[in-house]
Amino acid sequence: MRKSAIACGLLASAAFTSPVLANADVQKLSADPNNWAIQSGNYAGTRYSTLDQINVSNVGSLKVAWTFSTGVLRGHEGGPIVVGDTMWLHSAFPNIVFALNLADENKIIWKYEPKQDPSVIPVMCCDTVNRGVQYAEGKIFLHQADTSLVALDAKTGKELWKVVNADPKRGETGTGAPLVTKDKVIIGVSGAEFGVRCFLTAYDINSGKKVWRAYSMGPDSDILVDPAKTIDVHTGKPAGKDSSLKTWNGDQWKIGGGSIWGYMSYDPELNLIYYGTGNPSTWNPAQRAGPDGKQIDQKWSMTKFARDVDTGVAKWAYQMTPFDEWDFDGINEPILADIKVGGADRKVVVHFDRNGFGYTQDRATGELLVAQKYDPKVNWATEVVNKPGDPQHGRPQVVAKYSTFLNGQDVNSKGICPAALGSKDQQPASFSKQTGLFYVPTNHVCMDYEPFKVSYTAGQPYVGATLSMFPAPDSHGGMGNFIAWDAAAGKIVWSKPEQFSVWSGALTTAGGVAFYGTLEGYFKAVDQKDGKELFKFKTPSGIIGNAMTYTHGGKQYVAVFSGVGGWAGIGLAAGLTNPTDGLGAVGGYAGLKQYTNLGGSLTVFSLP
């Protein structure tokens, strides 16, 4: 009965969508290096630009060209986009959007300020951030905190259509950047810390009509998994009937979590979109154990998905951290690249997971090629088994000392590395075609973890753990590194220590430079070859935004948001002082207040 219903649903989904090619407008505009037309720079999510006017020989001469204040004093993630003479940029809640005329002293062309119920703020996990707008076919797409998806006229700011994606009163919120593929705009939803069963949704870019929706867990028809065709990377075989339902205890999947708010990527040739899902609810693993008190995987939380854009049906799925015990969300960005692995040319997807392992996979099949630690202090697991056919294939080997679950009971554990915010959180890495290396902003942070029993009430926090965070011991004493990573070998090529976590998205260019920002507010440029620092400038506030570049009037510019906040900066952003507040980040980053303060501005650099 269920099988035929699934088949009918999938056929209906396929019939509903029109057979258009990859969105030609997005492809054309993002292929022009003078623009920065998409949040990740391109569909592959490489955050690499072929511009080279600014290069290793002259980057030390950068000066501030101009600045712009958003007027909002909370965490500013994401960054602006540029097409031709126009820049569009956004703010944290209330998610104001500005259009600036680059040809007329950066004059404000229009300003869109949505009217949102401020009651959404308390249910936004880890600050009131937004990760950016997207442009396509004369429209600007904004995913608001209250989950509304809005299409604006790019020239006038006029609202063309608006749909409500979810319900903040249930703890559902929107912070992720939309991605336009073909004739669809795709967004996820957050809320795992409130027991939300999260999902990814595709809407028609012209009408706002829902095309398909894929939940993170539940029946096959809800998660858009074909039991006969969707590959479970762990086994290398089709997932089989009810691949998610049979890994949950009773009806717990109905409040299962699996938030989707990280950056997504898209392969037009394979017609696949890639993204990750977050933690299962609750953070207390004992409450999610099976009836016999044993671990169960809780699929498909903590999972990297590859889905067909037309139907939403999953081609393959790979769960990085089964039965999560540490909040190691799997939402970090997938980066598509063509590299040699084992001497062979491979089309891969590379992912730096919160759990501290860097994964290199075949992007057509999900085949696991490499899985290695990208921070040597990671201690919760010894390795990820990479032996096809082995029952443990693709699974991390957990060290009992750092487990938070034992014999059906929750356990207080100390010295777990990394902390819940991971060896890397939302801050996206960059792949340089010049060096073939990945440049990764990282957190060098550990934690003590105390689970406790929590009851579910719709719209109320459903966390179930108290955390304390601190710098990784026996190390450089700082809380971050900026590293160069060889994804074929699974090795760090070089590592540059930082005092605080590097919470800013990286940018690489054909000029041989890698750019990033620091939590205390420095914008830095380093040599891609060896990490040598070539430039730094102290911006008005801590940087959690993403570096980007564009040209105008024949001149190359580099820009970044400053505005401290996000999970690491939540203490400053929200005025919190209790060390365990902010899910442990307030105490861990208490020293940040000595170096920076609240802000919300864009700083743009150029050569003199």
CB atoms within 10 A of CB 111: 12
b/e per residue, 514-535, with b = 16+ CB within 10 A? bbbbbbbbbbbbbbbeebeebb
In contact, 245 and 300? CB cutoff 8 Å: no
d(CA 240, CA 595): 53
Residue type, 142: L
Q: How far apart are the first and last CA of the chain?
A: 69
Q: How many helices (H) and strands (E) does the chain have?
A: 5, 42
3-class DSSP state for residue 553?
coil
Closest CA to 496 of 484, 504, 487: 484
DSSP for 424-489, written as a single string:
S-S---EE-TTTS-EEEEEE-EEEEEEE------TTS----EEEEEEEPSSS-SSSEEEEEEETTT
d(CA 539, CA 74): 15
b/e per residue, 121-134, with b = 16+ CB within 10 A? bebbbbbbbbbbbb
Annotated catalytic residue 327: yes
In contact, 464 and 284? CB cutoff 8 Å: yes
Q: SS3 letters for 222-256?
A: HHCCCCCCCEECCCCEECCCCCCHHHCCCCHHHHC
d(CA 180, CA 166): 19
Q: Where are the beta strands (DSSP E) in 223-367?
A: 231-232, 237-238, 265-267, 272-276, 303-308, 314-319, 334-341, 344-352, 357-362
Which tokens sit at 76?
């500013």
Which tokens sit at 119?
């009651």
In contact, 361 and 428? CB cutoff 8 Å: no
In contact, 596 and 557? CB cutoff 8 Å: no
User: Residues in the chain, how many?
Assistant: 608
Closest CA to 30 of 135, 152, 133, 176: 135
Closest CA to 595 of 514, 541, 533: 541
Marked catalytic residue, from 183, 327, 353, 425:
327
Name every residue whose Cβ is closer than 8 Å to that of residue 554 and which is 6 or more positions away in sequence.
none
Active site residues: 327
